[in-house]
Chain A
Amino acid sequence: SQTIHQWPATLVQPVGSPLSLECTVEGTSNPNLYWYRQAAGRGLQLLFYSVGIGQISSEVPQNLSASRPQDRQFILSSKKLLLSDSGFYLCAWSNGLAGSEQYFGPGTRLTVT
């Protein structure tokens, strides 16, 4: 069966510090991968998605970037965090077929102070 991992589970970082969040998927190959953010009390917003190694699509202009160095690894980064980057970051995967469902990881709760 497929499993999706995210770490760390929680993170407190000062403004201006760098960020690296990691997501890995097990039990499937060539998945579509996604990064979402959920601000406090708000809905989920798609940040990035990837259909293959090195292929990243950005949905919103922002202070963040994403990379996919391996087939089942997806990384979210920032060089300098802003207060507005605080939120609940979720990674998800799907099998890439039209209309297919997405499966979400446990999330990382980031607080920028």
Chain B
Amino acid sequence: DAKTTQPNSMESNEEEPVHLPCNHSTISGTDYIHWYRQLPSQGPEYVIHGLTSNVNNRMASLAIAEDRKSSTLILHRATLRDAAVYYCILRDGGNKLVFGAGTILRVKS
């Protein structure tokens, strides 16, 4: 499984944008870039995914580098409810999601 690298933790102020980076230099042409987040004592929640082009949905935006070796999850206005562990995962055509350690996002009021 292709590997991703994320910072251990990040901090943001409430109401400000947050950019969560992810490096995936060994990504293959068929790997989708997925983002999930997990709040304490809850199951992971799907956030967004993309293949080559930038993606937007009601939760976030995903910016994918032109060479696809990195991506950034953008939360446009962080709220206290966005404090969670954010996982960047490469998903191939198979059936597995391989979760790493993720980035702990802390949001300050």
Contacts and interface: CB of A to CB of B under 8 A. Distances in A.
B34 A101 contact: yes
A98 B91 CA distance: 9
Interface string B43-87: 111100101000000000000000000000000000000000000
B99 A43 contact: yes
Given A43-B102, A99-B32, A32 B95 contact: yes
Nearest to A45: B99
A46 B93 contact: no
Contacts of B100: 43
Contacts of B31: 99
A102 B46 contact: yes
A104 B45 contact: yes
Interface string A85-113: 00000101000001101111111010000
Contacts of A105: 43
A99 B51 contact: yes
Nearest to B48: A101
A49 B94 CA distance: 11
A44 B34 CA distance: 15
Given A46-B98, A101-B34, A104-B43, 15 more contacts: A43-B102, A44-B97, A90-B43, A98-B30, A99-B30, A99-B31, A99-B51, A99-B91, A101-B49, A102-B97, A104-B45, A104-B46, A105-B43, A106-B42, A109-B41
Interface of B: 30-32, 34, 41-46, 49, 51, 91-93, 95-102
